[in-house]
Amino acid sequence: MRRFWLLFAQTVTVCLGILFIINTLRPDWLRIDSVDDLNATQSSMLPVASYAGAVQRASPSVVNIYTSKRVLEPVLPLLDDPELARLFGNLPGFSRSRRATTLGSGVIVSDDGYVLTNYHVIESAEEIEVALADGRISNAQFVGADPDTDLAVLKIDKDGLPPIPIADTGAARVGDVVLAIGNPFGVGQTITIGIVSALGRNRLGINMYENFIQTDAAINPGNSGGALIDTQGRLIGINTAIYSETGGSLGIGFAIPVGVAQKVFEDIVRQGYVTRGWIGVEPQDITPDLAQAFNLAAQEGVIVARIVPGGPADNAGLRVGDIISEIDGDPVDNTAGFLSQIARLEPGSLAKLNVLRKGRKQHIELQVGQRPGRREGR
């Protein structure tokens, strides 16, 4: 053992001697001359993350949208009162006309000029103008919209339009890196980065049908209708809303998943409106008090609060107070999920419901109808 430590001490002494000689004769071998050299050394050791390729693939397909409409504004301060404005606002001398403009973003989804954007970007617009990433400008034709998902389809007449690559439905995962492309505050096309914070966000009170991708990529006014892409430059969502108390980005943004956007786009282009299932009931969530009143073990399913006379549910014998727990074998969690499940059903198809009525399970089969609603189209 003593011999081992002696050998170790001699080896260390020799190494230190060699290091001293090298430092004396060639000190530049062991010295970094500047901070730049240090940074260069460190940079060569670290992998470089860049999403330039994804941006190059997707950004030519993202457009800026400018809309304008004629609005009346009161001349007299007293007309700021809604009731006075209603009585006198349209009379000559009490109001004046001006052009109000708004801005947003859109995504080219086909090479023949179809553009997806948010409905609230172009709602009530009298003129719609689209600015392409290459600097060209075109007037846009309004094709149709689906206010229930806040999506709209426009058409522009230009050559050489690059459609955005589209990701597979359900490709987004929590934790994936994403980039938002749009025109925030009208400053021009801007890229922000973040991750997918959550999937399937609903019950936010933004749209009738909610199934949002939540992201912390900065989304600001003007980003609405723009693209949320993955690191391969593929579209995974249409940016649509932010959570904010100030009007600026707070790191909580929402995008409509590409699967929802594709169905809306295809239905509007094909028939001018979106096809959705409907059974004619008004559902209600099961609260703890209701669960206790109905002697339920869990707060799962929805209670039928109202039935539309003559609707599919009425014709099938569904009753007020019934608790719907499953649709075609899929569990029902709450009213938001229930409405989305019904909307996905094909009108004319048969749906099988598992129902709890006065403590007894029943199976009810009904024919799905076409959901009535407002249609914004050609």
What single letter denotes the amino acid at residue 92? P
Catalytically annotated residues: 120, 150, 224
In the chain, the largest separation of any two C-alpha atoms, in whole Å, equals 111
Task: Say if CB 152 and CB 67 are below 8 A apart.
Answer: no
Buried b (16+ CB within 10 A) or exposed e, 195-212: ebbeeebbeeebbbbbbb
Measured distance CA(145)–CA(264) in Å, rounded: 8
Cα 210 to chain centroid, rounded: 9
Task: Say if CB 224 and CB 150 are below 8 A apart.
Answer: no
Q: Which residues contact 183 (CB under 8 A, 6 or more apart)?
A: 64, 65, 103, 104, 105, 189, 190, 222, 223, 226
Beta bridge partners, 73, equal 96
Taken as a whole, the chain contains a residue count of 378
- Torsion sign over Cα 244, 246, 251, 254: positive
Buried b (16+ CB within 10 A) or exposed e, 149-163: bbbbbbbbeeeebbb
**Closest to 223 measured CA to CA, from 120, 94, 79:** 120
Task: Say if CB 227 and CB 206 are below 8 A apart.
Answer: no
DSSP collapsed to 3 states, 322-344 = CEEEEECCEECCCHHHHHHHHHC
- Judged by DSSP in three states, 276 sits in coil
